[in-house]
A and B are shown apart, each in its own frame.
Chain A
Amino acid sequence: MAVLLLADVNDGALATDAVAKALSAVKGLGEVHILVAGTSAAAAAEAAKLDGAAKVLHADDAAYDHGMAEATAALIVSLAGGYSHIAAAATAFSKNVLPRAAALLDVMVISDVTAVVDADTFERPIYAGNAIQTVKSSDAKKVLTVRTASFNAAATSGSAAVEKVSATADASLSKWVEDKVAASDRPELTSAGIVVSGGRGVGSQSDFALIEKLADKLGAAVGASRAAVDSGYAPNDWQVGQTGKVVAPTLYVAVGISGAIQHLAGMKDSKVIVAINKDEEAPIFQVADYGLVADLFNAVPEMIEKL
């Protein structure tokens, strides 16, 4: 059977990394058709380049341009007939849409899949990653979101056909008003090779600039612990952890982060973890490959200077 993969499109651009990783996760389940919803022909063309996509379905209608759940879920349901699996990267967009589509299909959603065992069986973290559960679905169709940090991105050397699908969107339930997305030249948090994160120890919003400076020196994305976000030092979309984003970069630098369970849930699959903290008892040192017990206000400027 075939897989319908819902693509993330942000402001007309395909979230290539997320879609490419979700594609890797599901391509063993059958022929993959990528669904691009919205008016962006560029996003559909970009999706067509992903290796392993058999075709791209482009629902070219402005009603889908802002990823509204009601219209997008209805679109998925209208296409669901030919598919055994409906999947997407586990992003804010698909976590909004796929459970709605699943309920309309009278099936359960399987969220944050970290491994595909077979067509019915999947691994996923529960309790903030403190346990990994293998579940087997008895539903006729499987609807799942895929945790991108667990999979490598598919290459972009393909050339699948783009097929238009007719769309009948009812936009009466909800209306998009505006997006407030911070423009940044830094890499995107969930796909960056290096992430530098600050915690409560950073102490203030103005001192968080130090974390950003180190990140820029390393060409890294900036992250933050929930404590730092709750204290107003950093915006919420920088949050790494159970209630924020899950990242698995090659290098994760945790500065002034104690290492609460909920933060570890978002970064413990990083390849190399560095912790800088003045409290040598901080739990972050139990997962760090390299730990430096030091005052971050001395250590970070020194590191910026010496890199």
Chain B
Amino acid sequence: MKVLVPVKRVIDYNVKVRVKADGSGVDLANVKMSMNPFDEIAVEEAIRLKEKGIATEVVVVSIGVKQAQETLRTALAMGADRAILIEATADVHTDIEPLAVAKLLAGVVKEEAPGLVLCGKQAIDNDMNATGQMLSALLGWSQATFASELAIEGDTAKVTREVDGGLQTIAVKMPAIVTVDLRLNEPRYASLPNIMKAKAKPLAAKTPADYGVDVAPRLSVVKTVEPAGRKAGVKVGSIDELIAKLKDEAGVI
């Protein structure tokens, strides 16, 4: 079984986000970029499936700017076999929307015929939490989102999902889309020899036109602002003072 893993190049999660002065978005010029952390977990899970002999090949795909090939090389260094880059924009500030991404991925799925697509549950830039569900809809496949456990048994994937009150287990028919949550696994670091080897692994370059997909956005950005700041309050010296403040000043207990 082939496993397809979409990976997104996003601002590194440790970088402090700054809104651009013109309000068009967040400043991404000369900022450290990394693989979306949830996608790293998806890549790790795919590699583990290969190590267990369940997956035969792990193909990673990224959609966005040319520089996303660095993200793909990271996935290849972790252990993916092959990469596809769909260069959909030349501007690092253009975010391709989940609907367009899902349409492009549907095109890749038709070509590659994977038995499983593993996606991160959300990208930490637009926080949309939509691509996996949308891809699943376009393909008419079953979906299991927010996975914290995944077991593949024949043509069924048994998935434990992180839901609001606790955990839900479902059984989905393969082929399926599974989106992964934080607790599924801990991604490995790529070793130096593997980073070197990754440079020789195949990386195919494509464009949206190859899949006949229009990536024009449906949502236009009116403005982007910093959230209203919260000011630091006062330090209290004791529990007695704290309780008194909460009772008398704030009136919340």
User: B243 contacts the other chain (Cβ, under 8 Å)?
Assistant: yes
User: B50 contacts the other chain (Cβ, under 8 Å)?
Assistant: no
Task: Give the contacts of A206-250 with B (CB-CB under 8 A).
Answer: 218, 226, 229-230, 235-237, 242-243, 245, 250
Smallest Cβ distance from A70 to chain B, in angstroms? Answer: 6
A236 B252 Cβ-Cβ under 8 A:
no
User: A177 contacts the other chain (Cβ, under 8 Å)?
Assistant: yes
**B63-71, B85-93, B192-200, B221-229: which lies at the A interface?**
B221-229
Task: Give the contacts of A89-117 with B (CB-CB under 8 A).
Answer: 91-93, 95-104, 106-112
Partner of A251, one of B173, B230, B252: B252
Smallest Cβ distance from A265 to chain B, in angstroms? Answer: 9
B167 A92 Cβ-Cβ under 8 A:
no
- Cβ-Cβ contact count across A and B, 8 Å cutoff: 257
A129 B227 Cβ-Cβ under 8 A:
yes
B13 to chain A: which residues have CB within 8 Å?
Answer: 262
Partner of A92, one of B163, B233, B235: B163
For B142-184 the 0/1 string (1 means CB < 8 A from A) is 1111101000000000100111111111111100000001110
B26 A127 Cβ-Cβ under 8 A:
yes
Smallest Cβ distance from B218 to chain A, in angstroms? Answer: 4
Cα of A139 to Cα of B220 in the assembled complex, Å = 11
B135 to chain A: which residues have CB within 8 Å?
Answer: 103
A272 to chain B: which residues have CB within 8 Å?
Answer: 246, 250, 252
**B54-62, B72-80, B119-127, B201-209: which lies at the A interface?**
B119-127
Q: A99-B133, A285-B235 are in contact. Are A236 and B148 (CB under 8 A)?
A: yes
Q: A92-B146, A303-B243 are in contact. Are A251 and B253 (CB under 8 A)?
A: yes
**A21-29, A34-42, A79-87, A291-299: which lies at the B interface?**
A291-299
Partner of B225, one of A108, A132, A237, A288: A132
User: A274 contacts the other chain (Cβ, under 8 Å)?
Assistant: yes
User: B84 contacts the other chain (Cβ, under 8 Å)?
Assistant: no
B220 A230 Cβ-Cβ under 8 A:
no
Cα of A8 to Cα of B142 in the assembled complex, Å = 21
Cα of A103 to Cα of B146 in the assembled complex, Å = 18
A274 B242 Cβ-Cβ under 8 A:
yes
A190 to chain B: which residues have CB within 8 Å?
Answer: 164
B138 A103 Cβ-Cβ under 8 A:
yes
A-side interface residues, number (CB < 8 Å): 90
Partner of A177, one of B158, B220, B233, B239: B158
- Cβ contacts A to B, 27 pairs, < 8 Å: A66-B168, A66-B170, A95-B133, A102-B99, A111-B129, A112-B127, A121-B222, A125-B227, A126-B125, A131-B26, A134-B225, A137-B218, A139-B218, A181-B165, A181-B166, A251-B252, A268-B230, A274-B242, A280-B235, A285-B235, A288-B232, A291-B232, A292-B242, A302-B239, A303-B239, A306-B240, A306-B243
8 extra interface residue pairs, beta carbon distance < 8 Å, beyond A103-B99, A109-B134: A10-B165, A66-B168, A127-B17, A127-B127, A139-B218, A175-B172, A289-B250, A292-B239
What residues of chain A have their CB less than 8 Å away from a CB belonging to chain B? 10, 66, 68-70, 73, 91-93, 95-104, 106-112, 121, 125-139, 172-182, 190, 194, 218, 226, 229-230, 235-237, 242-243, 245, 250-251, 261-262, 268, 271-274, 280, 285-294, 299, 302-303, 306-307
Q: Which 8 A-B pairs have the closest CB atoms?
A: A289-B233, A103-B134, A99-B133, A103-B137, A173-B142, A99-B130, A130-B17, A181-B165
